[in-house]
Structure 1
Amino acid sequence: MKKNLGEIIKQDMIQNRGYILNSLQLLKLILWEKYDPMKYLIFFRVANYCENSPKLIRGIVYRIYYHHSFKFGYEISPKTKIGGGLRLPHWGGGIVIHSNAIIGENCEIMQNVTVGNNALKSRDDVAIIGDRVTLCAGSKVIGSVSIGDNVVVGANSVVVKDIPTNTIVAGIPAKIIRYVNN
């Protein structure tokens, strides 16, 4: 069952804030907060939701979204499929995610993370990332790889091969350093 926009935004709020903002708090966030990743996530979700809207509406929403994308330092296409509960703990994060990437629910992405293609092999084949995955600062996920659920990718690691579920990986290239029981 596909979730609606409101449910996904609420899931993002719980991951980022620990609670759901009421209407007044949400309005304050959108109108007055300058640097809150939750504000960016709301604009991302709306732009993602408007992907199949009429051209005029999509154009207006995208313009607002790209303004905030530039302001926050995130390069995430509104076409990217990202599950609810995305946590971005740092604003000005330098995060780059390819438009064909698929990211599961309740994931956390730290600053300076890249999820991209391997230009030497294919410009369109990119990662599929499972649920409850943490991509630590500076990590890179390159090419057509699959990352299972409950995975932690260590800081400055480079993932170029598939990663199984319930693992912690680190290094260049990333290797399994521990299995985690859930």
Structure 2
Amino acid sequence: MPFREFFTACSKGDQMAGFWLLYRLQNRSEHKLTRDFWTFLLNRSARRHGGYVGPGAAIAGEPVLPHGLHGVYISRFAVIGTGCRIYQNVTIGEVNGRAPVIGDDCLIGAGAVLVGNIRIGNHVKIGAGTVIRQDLPDGCTAVAQPPRILERGTADDENDKPGLAGNKSERPGP
């Protein structure tokens, strides 16, 4: 594959192996000029599909990104183990310069948010839309937050209000 086609595929997110190659080259470069060049290519690639991987993030191996880097934010302070599967719109963020440490073979569902100085164990599954702010032990599964009831009404209150489904006299007919 010619360089131009390879670079275009990396930029679109079709070629994640190429993205991780650029990422490794950036982290290994010792000279500022070459590191800036790799950073430019990485930022171009990541920005095309709304993702970000911080330049100092410690990522062992190549994480599996089934949807590419679409909406994935990985803090520059994050540590990610081998074999992790990260779906779209995941945030691995920092608080006061401290980011999560994620173990090996973890699954992080779409839209999950992991923030702060927390440790995620090995073989952990995090469900879609889950917000994690505490440590998780090895092999556990974390799912969505429990719902919190802000205001409680009675069934009679709902039927008395005009325009609600419980009040048949106000319902428009077919």
TM-score interval, normalised by the smaller of the two chains: 0.7 to 0.9
**Quick check: 72-81 or 34-43, which moved more?**
34-43
Question: What is the alpha-carbon root mean square deviation over aligned residues?
Answer: 2.0
- Cα distance in 2 between the residues matched to 1:28 and 1:125: 38
Q: Deviations over 1:92-140 (max 9, x none)?
A: 510111111101011011000001123xxxx111111000011100000
**Quick check: 125-134 or 33-42, which moved more?**
33-42
1:141 is paired with a residue of what secondary structure? strand
Pairing 1:49–2:28 present: yes
Give the direction of change, closer, same or farther, for the CA distance of 1:72–1:43 in structure 2 (3 Å limit): farther
Match of 1:134 in 2: 107
- Consecutive unaligned residues of structure 1, counting only runs of 5 or more, are 1-23, 174-182
**What does residue range 108-127 of structure 1 map to in structure 2 within 5 Å?**
108-118=85-95, 123-127=96-100
Q: Max radius of gyration: which structure?
A: 2
**What does residue range 157-176 of structure 1 map to in structure 2 within 5 Å?**
157-172=130-145
Q: Which structure is higher in strand share?
A: 1
1:172 is paired with a residue of what secondary structure? coil
CA contact (8 A) 2:100 2:115 kept: yes
* Aligned pair partner of 1:35 in 13, 27, 47: 13
Match of 1:94 in 2: 71
Match of 1:82 in 2: 59
CA contact (8 A) 2:52 2:69 kept: no
- Consecutive unaligned residues of structure 2, counting only runs of 5 or more, are 147-174
Match of 2:162 in 1: none
Aligned partner letter, 1:138: G
* Equivalences, count: 143
Match of 2:119 in 1: 146
Pick 1 or 2: higher relative contact order, CA cutoff 8 A, min separation 6. 1
Q: Which structure is higher in helix share?
A: 1
CA contact (8 A) 2:20 2:62 kept: no
- Cα distance in 2 between the residues matched to 1:60 and 1:31: 14
